[in-house]
Chains A and B, each alone.
Chain A
């Protein structure tokens, strides 16, 4: 089993957290999110992202508004809700703890 395959579950689990983090910075459009992911280990495709965003919207973490684009039809721009911000804060805290643990465990 390659490293890539082994950690796919981890990457998948982190995807929602990272989407929250990206959306928190500014109002974004799906192609922007994909672009930010594309340079990382979290390369993602529309086929995954659209269902994920709709699930997050259903859970009340994100919301969107339609914005006109220069060329073509209006686009959905996503932003965080208050609940989404809370969850992001909690997850960031938790992530800090986890990465601390990963660093410290096994060291004398």
Chain B
């Protein structure tokens, strides 16, 4: 037994099952949002409502008076997503999107698409949820849709080869942005962001009672309904995503060049900071400024850290913007990151080479790295076996 809701479509009353009502309401809300800025929005909406009404009427008879949830979904599927590319002058890029957006093959006979074909583009982010260190392996795993443990193992294997794993890891940890917002996390996994819809509903108090489930059965029922509706919305949101990324892709055509440059600047700042820190700890002086003995060393370190953060903040922000602007062709993001990482490595190598050539202490330190590493491994092994 299901609850029935009576609605008015184009002046005629229809009775829908509650689940179907929710689906219809979401469809109409999405349609209205899509038509935002269209001068004929209200008229198109009423046309659409009337068309839906007519399809409902075709389903009903003298003994069948209620449209069930499954039928509502089928009718909306037949209607197809609202595609407004007239733009109505509100969005000048809409015309370009027109050529890219696909509509022709959205007929009822061809609605079956291979999964992922129309999905949101994936992007490479570091994912901190469930990460061991900086989330690099997690991000790679999400990008290629494999088990993060395998990626971690691969990195550990790489570590055996001259420590390459560590180097690559650190470069990636610095270069790749972290997925912060839920949208970014969704993009990292290539998932359409249906959670957005969930939040919107939660805000509306649509599922007001969802927090206090009387028993497990009610909770399961709610979950079932939620999943069902999410499925109904998925295509719409996928489409939104697709459209959003395809439009924002043209914003920064020069971002491909700017990104590595900014990375180099960022890296140089990091190296400078590292040198300053070492010099402070070793000699008590930074860039020739001798630390007064009254100031405790931790305050000096803190001040330096803050100064570094302030300096680096705009660089980070700019890189983020570039990254966003550079997302449209799917293959581009990993490619750009490879380039970015390569340039970064090259700059590091040049700096190290210059350093080892002109600073005897640094050259000495670099030559000592193998023996220091050996000692460290030895100590760790001792500690391990000792335990």
- The count of residues in chain B whose C-beta lies closer than 8 Å to any C-beta of chain A is 39
Answer whether residue A54 sits at the interface, using C-beta atoms and an 8 A cutoff: yes
From B31, B43, B102, B104, name the one whose CB has the most chain A CB atoms within 10 angstroms. B104
Closest Cβ neighbor of A37 among chain B residues: B107
A45–B105 contact, CB under 8 A? no
Closest Cβ neighbor of A30 among chain B residues: B51
Answer whether residue B29 sits at the interface, using C-beta atoms and an 8 A cutoff: no
164-202 of chain B: CB within 8 A of chain A: none
Q: How far is the CB of A45 from chain B (nearest CB, A)?
A: 3
Answer whether residue B81 sits at the interface, using C-beta atoms and an 8 A cutoff: yes
Indicate whether A48 sits within 8 Å of B83 (C-beta atoms), given known contacts A4-B105, A9-B100, A42-B104: yes
Answer whether residue B82 sits at the interface, using C-beta atoms and an 8 A cutoff: yes
- By a CB distance below 8 angstroms, the chain B residues around A76 are 47
Contact string, B98-125, partner A, CB cutoff 8 A, digits 1/0?
1111111111111000000000000000
Answer whether residue B334 sits at the interface, using C-beta atoms and an 8 A cutoff: no
B104–A72 contact, CB under 8 A? no
Answer whether residue B147 sits at the interface, using C-beta atoms and an 8 A cutoff: no
- The count of residues in chain A whose C-beta lies closer than 8 Å to any C-beta of chain B is 31
Partner of B80, one of A41, A48, A73: A48
Closest Cβ neighbor of B51 among chain A residues: A46
Cα A36 to Cα B373 with chains together (Å)? 76
Cα A52 to Cα B82 with chains together (Å)? 10
Partner of B103, one of A38, A44, A50, A73: A44
Answer whether residue A12 sits at the interface, using C-beta atoms and an 8 A cutoff: yes
B12–A72 contact, CB under 8 A? yes
B82–A72 contact, CB under 8 A? no
Answer whether residue B284 sits at the interface, using C-beta atoms and an 8 A cutoff: no
- By a CB distance below 8 angstroms, the chain B residues around A46 are 48, 51, 78-80
Given contacts A9-B99, A47-B31, 17 further A-B contacts (CB under 8 A): A4-B104, A7-B104, A11-B104, A12-B104, A15-B104, A31-B51, A45-B79, A47-B83, A48-B82, A48-B83, A50-B48, A51-B35, A51-B82, A51-B85, A54-B43, A54-B44, A58-B86
- A interface residues, Cβ below 8 angstroms from B: 4-5, 7-9, 11-13, 15, 30-31, 38, 41-48, 50-52, 54-55, 57-58, 71-73, 76
A and B contact pairs by CB, cutoff 8 A, 19 listed: A4-B110, A5-B102, A8-B105, A43-B106, A44-B104, A46-B79, A47-B31, A47-B79, A50-B48, A50-B82, A54-B86, A58-B86, A71-B57, A72-B54, A72-B57, A73-B10, A73-B50, A73-B53, A76-B47
